Amino acid sequence: MRRAARYDGWIGDLIKTDRAIEAAGRLRELRVENGLSVEDFTVLTPLTDAFTAADYRRAEEAGITGILTMPWMFYTGPDAGLSEKVDAMRRFRKDLALDG
C-alpha cells in the first residue's frame, strides 16, 4: 500500500466493500503523510458484496473512484453466452441508473 500511495493509484482484488473502504482510507492517510494530493489518486477495485446503486454510492463517497465488475454474474452466472452478457450489461446499467 505504501508503494501505491506514492504513485497514482491502487487496484484491489476481490474485496468486500468495508475492507475496500478501509484500504481507501489508509491510502489517503499515506498520501497525506507524504505530502501528496488525494484528489488525483485512483482507487479501483472489484467489490464482492456490492449489488445496488446505494452500495456503489457508499463506496464512491468513501473514496473508491472506480469498480471492476462482470454484470452478467449478477443475472445469468459464469456460463453466460455473449448475448446474455450484453443483455446483463444493459440491465446493470438500467438497474443502477447509470444514465443519470
pLDDT tens by residue, 31-43? 999 999 999 899 9
Instruction: Print the SS3 string covering 27-91.
Output: HHHHHHHCCCCCCCCEEEECECCCCCHHHHHHHHHCCCCEECCCCHHHHCCCCCCHHHHHHHHHH
pLDDT tens digits for range 47-81: 999 999 999 999 999 999 999 999 999 899 999 99
Residue 99 is predicted with a pLDDT of: 79
* pLDDT digit string, tens, across residues 77-97: 999 999 999 999 999 999 988
Looking at residue 35, its pLDDT comes to 95
Based on the fold, state whether residues 79 and 48 are members of the same structural domain: no
Structural domain that includes position 92: 70-100
Residues 31 and 78 reside in one and the same domain: no
Q: Tell me, what's the pLDDT at 12?
A: 94
Do 63 and 94 have their domain in common? no
> Where does the pLDDT of residue 100 fall: very low under 50, low under 70, confident under 90, or very high at 90 and above?
low
Do 13 and 59 belong to one domain? yes
Q: Could you tell me if 9 and 57 lie in one domain?
A: yes
